[in-house]
Amino acid sequence: MKELNVIISGGGTGGHIYPAISIADEIKSRYPLADILFVGAKDRMEMTKVPEAGYPIEGLWISGIDRKFSLRNLAFPLKLVSSLVKANQILGYFKPHVVIGTGGFASGPLLKMANNKKIPTLIQEQNSYPGITNRMLGKEANVICTAYENLERYFPAEKIRVTGNPVRQDITNIDQKREEAREFYGTKSGKKTLLVLGGSLGARKINKLIEANLAYFERNEVQVIWQTGSLYYDDYKKFDTETIKTYAFLNRMDLAYAAADVIISRAGAGTVSELCIVGKPVLFIPSPNVAEDHQLKNAMSIVSKKAAFMIKEDDLLGEFEDTITLMLENREVQEELSENIKKLARPMATAAIVDEIEKFIKV
């Protein structure tokens, strides 16, 4: 078999990068001789995360447009032209059999030029509300792999394949890791454990919420595994006790999920997909500080199926205690949420996406 050349482009956030790496790993497992190149945006996190995963990456001089007026927007046309030229050069020398876009502004110039050259392209859309880059590229892509149903408003229906989002495979058997998780995180059996996820950087409102309810957790004998995020850890590490465990970052997410009885989380697309597989009762607190409020839409797609609860940041003060008490103490609610969210899981998403790629690559 001839060597397979693949370009994967996307980035800006972990939600675009980690699915891209998962797809690359699955391609490598099927085609060990495949040559895979990533293309991202200069000075963004993919420029370090992708090489750490073992893949080369080229950077484009590109960024998004600020929604509010900014002098940086004046440079956007120049950045766009520069990125289109470099994308064309990359396609010329690398000669990919397929180009994969996982979202973010970095993928725009590359997939646009690939479409112009009639190189097969695949888009992987993580969110229930697609970003503007993927919406623009969808008309010319060969296939669009989505995590959510009912996206025909944004993409041609005949091109959509509902595959789910790529997720880490070590979370698929967490029921067998309960004792290991307790030992790793120092939690005790017989007490409820709450896992709090605010993302790798952290969520200020969620951290303030947990701080304000420390007395409630102590009074109700609730153990907390609290990911404060790297930006806030120094402010909250002082609250670390035998029952309140504070972490800047959780290195063993599989064990954190295994230890948890109830989970509080943001609603990024990758996290939502993981939580469907984990199958624990979830309270979503979506970030309002994201493009087109897509976290709210992600959360609502789960809540509408009676598979999770959600509280908006502005409503936390009035609704949190009653909601979390219900989730921690009501067995029927716990079982209903767990059963319903598990129905939405797609643990074989990565394999399904690469199956789609194999249908139109020619090597």
CA separation, residue 85 to residues 36, 76, 88, 109, 122 (Å): 21, 14, 5, 9, 21
* Helices and strands in the chain, H and E counts: 15, 13
d(CA 75, CA 58): 21
- Say if strands 192-197 and 160-162 run parallel, antiparallel, or are unpaired: unpaired
d(CA 77, CA 246): 44
Buried b (16+ CB within 10 A) or exposed e, 99-113: bbbbbbbbbbbbbbb
169 is known to lie in a ligand binding site? no
107 is known to lie in a ligand binding site? no
DSSP state of 118: T
Across the beta sheet with 192-197, what order do the strands follow? 244-247, 222-227, 192-197, 262-265, 282-284, 309-310
295 is known to lie in a ligand binding site? yes
Query: Rounded to an integer, what is the distance from CA 282 to the centroid of its chain?
Result: 16
Residues 6+ apart with CB under 8 A from 165: 19, 124, 126, 147, 269, 270, 272, 273, 346, 349
15 is known to lie in a ligand binding site? yes
Residues 6+ apart with CB under 8 A from 95: 5
Nearest to 259 by CA among 270, 247, 267: 247
Q: Which two tokens stand for residue 272?
A: 């939502």
Buried b (16+ CB within 10 A) or exposed e, 250-280: beebbbbbbbbbbbbbbbbbbbbbbbbbbbb
A 10 A CB-CB count for 15 gives 22
Using N-to-C axis directions, what is the helix angle for 331-342 and 269-278, rounded to 10°? 110
Q: Which two tokens stand for residue 201?
A: 């950087």
11 is known to lie in a ligand binding site? no
200 is known to lie in a ligand binding site? yes
d(CA 126, CA 298): 9
190 is known to lie in a ligand binding site? no
Residues of each annotated binding site for UDP-N-acetyl-alpha-D-glucosamine: 13-15, 127, 168, 200, 295
Cite the annotated binding site by residue number.
Answer: 13-15, 127, 168, 200, 295
